[in-house]
Amino acid sequence: MPAWWTYVESPLEFIVSACRIRSVFFVVPTRSQRSRVLFSTSADWVCKIQRASHQREITSLRFGASKTMTNFWKALTRRKTDDVNEGESKLARVLNLFDLTALGVGSTLGLGVYVLAGQVAFNIAGPAVTISFLIAAVASAFAGICYAEFAARVPKAGSAYVYSYVTIGEFVAFTIGWNLILEYVIGTASVARGLSGYFDSLINNDMSKALNESMHIDVDFLGDYPDFLSFGMVLLLAGILAFGAKESSFLNNIFTTVNLVTIAIVLVAGAMNANVDNWRIPEKDVPEGFGTGGFMPFGIAGVMAGAAKCFYGFVGFDCIATTGEEAINPKRNIPLSIVVSLIIIFLSYFGVSTVLTMMLPYYLQDKDAPFPHAFDAVEWYTIKWIVTIGAVFALCTSLLGAMFPLPRILYAMGNDGILFKKLSKVHNYTKTPLLATIVSGIFASIMALLFNLDQLVDMMSIGTLLAYTIVAICVLVLRYQDEEMSKVVSVKAPNVIRQFFNGNSYREPNSMTSAITKVGIVVFAIVCLVWCSFQKVFDLDSTGGIVALSLVGALLILICIVIAMQPVSTIELTFKVPLVPFVPCLSVFANLYLMFQLDLNTWIRFLIWIVIGYVIYFCYGMRNSTQITRARNHAEAASNALRDQNMGQHENPAFEPDSKAENGRLPPPYEYSEKL
């Protein structure tokens, strides 16, 4: 027996051993007179309990590094609960189908329809920008359905940050929240940059020419010149919001109507000047650097790269899924309004990009203000000014809609303690998160000052795509687990392999089926990344590329089938994603594929953003999370309730004060004897 082992005789008592790790104490009960506790104080950090009568090991508890990792994992996966000391507010269900649809269209149909179509057609997809919008619409529809189920699962008004915090855990919630901050910041900066471009087009680009000549920026990952107009507009908007300005639904409906009327004018006037020959330009007439001409001058790769950029145009519909407490008949209206708004947005994008590329060859488009330039080319100056003024009003509304949620997400994350808590302070006079509004305004204005519009669009797309991917994965995880699942004690390899196709005939989720699903989801995401990498490496026209992509695709289908064979959750929801797991898996695949179409500089900027966020979380958020306080309050409330219950059950009238007996508040003797 090694010198560092010690025997301790312990008849029916608790053995407490301090194991030198952050003053954590482990209490091991022994239940037999003949039991002996064998514990170690060596660097192996192993505590073993042995029963002398049976001469075999009962259990082995490993602690030290493993215990630290367990606590670390629990911190990452702790879920948000309501504090027992806080009240819960109820929101009125007043939003009908029209209100929800107008909300989705108004918050989405902005910069994309007036700028993005011409920008993508110019040097990315050509006339095939229409197909790029279709692919982006399908990917957005998958993500929208997953958002709708998330909204049905969590009976709270909020964003995907709140949904994931309540259902999945803190680390996933922080990742989504941090990407939502990027989405709102870039959304604000990009709309401001687009609005500045439209103003510049009204004065024949004199502003951009002067700034480019006097203050040219010669840095690859920054814009060509500092845009002080967009910088000032964002700061002005932040000041207005900081003093309590609110965007009413009535005003939103009015400006959305103006926006749709402007788009209708564009479609009618553009169709009258359309020339289908602009979709059939021969290669010999195309300038160098603009592809091969025709409908797809940049090939399939250009269409998919354009779809990754066009995805930006559909960002904003997720606000519909945050109205779970305010929507009338959410089971019907939320998914229906998401579908209707996406259809309206897609038809607008499809029609606008069609007439734009038919009015003018794709290589003659203006990237910053395509419609004023196109109507200038056909000499329809009146329509040019109508469209320009309508676009300015629409972009102003879109700018307000993009900026408004940003302080709120900072406030929510600050209130939960995973971002700096000072961001959650509400000003007594304005009743707004003043510091969060100012910080977000400064941040967004700096982004608008330094980056070009196409760089901003790419950065926003990659952050939003990652958020949508996490939402789809969360839907899959939650669909294949219950709150209280039975644990499979004996997990052997034959049983696990048999369970791949539900050979054990389980009808309800348990620990083994849930684990198989989670591993399957992770493997599916990894294989998706492999497929996307192969698509970049191999030539689609080569036999080797086709075989490799086909084999990886078959593996993806097999993983989907394994996940589909597992028993699903029995929890009733007002809305569920149809065709699970195929729709969420398609959403994950489409989002990751579109992310791979973005350039390397976008990935570098995005990874820097993610690293900054994780440094903040691990150095500050994990230790200051208010969920620690909430859990402590819940434990104290449960302890107090149990103590009160026990005191009531074991009350002894013999020890009551005389004053209580004199006032007649003692129970009759026979009740007391019956309790005994």
Q: Which two tokens stand for residue 154?
A: 């969590």
Q: How confident is the model at residue 534 (pLDDT cuts 50, 70, 90)?
A: confident
Tell me the mean pLDDT in the region 210-225: 78
pLDDT at 62: 47
pLDDT at 523: 93
Alpha helices per DSSP H over 114-169: 117-123, 129-153, 160-167
The Cα 369–Cα 345 span in angstroms is 20
| 3-state class percentages of the chain: helix first, strand second, coil last, to nearest 5 | 65, 5, 30
- Would you say residue 578 has pLDDT above 60? yes
By DSSP bridging, strand 25-29 and strand 35-40 are unpaired
The Cα 380–Cα 371 span in angstroms is 11
Q: Read off the pLDDT of residues 435-457 as tens digits, 9 standing for 90 and up.
A: 888 888 888 888 888 887 777 77
| β-sheet bridge partners, residue 26 | 17
Tell me the mean pLDDT in the region 316-334: 72
Read off the amino acid at residue 110: G
Q: Are 157 and 323 in contact (CB under 8 A)?
A: yes
pLDDT at 108: 80
Q: How confident is the model at residue 560 (pLDDT cuts 50, 70, 90)?
A: very high
The Cα 436–Cα 415 span in angstroms is 11
Tell me the mean pLDDT in the region 531-558: 85
The Cα 290–Cα 128 span in angstroms is 13
Which residue's structure tokens are 């019956």?
Answer: 674
Better pLDDT: 297 or 605: 297
pLDDT at 490: 59
Q: What is the DSSP string of 234-256?
A: HHHHHHHHHTT----HHHHHHHH
Which residue's structure tokens are 């020339």?
Answer: 275
Q: Which two tokens stand for residue 143?
A: 């993500």
User: How confident is the prediction for the chain on average, in pLDDT?
Assistant: 75
Q: How confident is the model at residue 155 (pLDDT cuts 50, 70, 90)?
A: low
Q: What does pTM read for this prediction?
A: 0.71
What is residue 47's DSSP assignment?
Answer: E
- Would you say residue 61 has pLDDT above 50? no
pLDDT at 554: 92
Report percent pLDDT > 70 for the chain: 77
Return the top range by mean pLDDT from 33-42, 315-324, 436-445, 568-577.
Answer: 436-445
pLDDT at 149: 81
Q: Which two tokens stand for residue 73?
A: 């994992």
Better pLDDT: 453 or 97: 97
| β-sheet bridge partners, residue 40 | 5
The Cα 194–Cα 210 span in angstroms is 18
Report percent pLDDT > 90 for the chain: 8
The Cα 296–Cα 280 span in angstroms is 9
Short-list 299, 301, 300, 293, CA closest to 277: 293
pLDDT at 132: 92
Q: 3-class SS at 58?
A: strand
Better pLDDT: 397 or 536: 536
Q: Which residues of 558-571 are buried (b: 16+ CB within 10 A; e: fewer)?
A: ebbebbbbbbbbee
Which element (helix H / strand E) includes 18?
Answer: strand 14-18
- Would you say residue 519 has pLDDT above 60? yes
Q: Are 439 and 406 in contact (CB under 8 A)?
A: no
Tell me the mean pLDDT in the region 126-135: 91
Q: Are 323 and 103 in contact (CB under 8 A)?
A: yes
What is residue 368's DSSP assignment?
Answer: S
The Cα 49–Cα 597 span in angstroms is 57
Tell me the mean pLDDT in the region 246-273: 77
Q: Read off the pLDDT of residues 599-649 as tens digits, 9 standing for 90 and up.
A: 788 888 888 889 999 999 999 988 888 888 777 776 777 777 777 776 655
Q: Which two tokens stand for residue 552?
A: 């990886």
Return the top range by mean pLDDT from 98-112, 117-131, 311-325, 395-409.
Answer: 117-131
- Would you say residue 94 has pLDDT above 80? no
pLDDT at 44: 38
Better pLDDT: 362 or 75: 362
Short-list 472, 577, 565, 569, CA closest to 516: 565
Angle at 656 between CA 650 and CA 659, to 5 degrees: 150
pLDDT at 83: 52
pLDDT at 67: 66
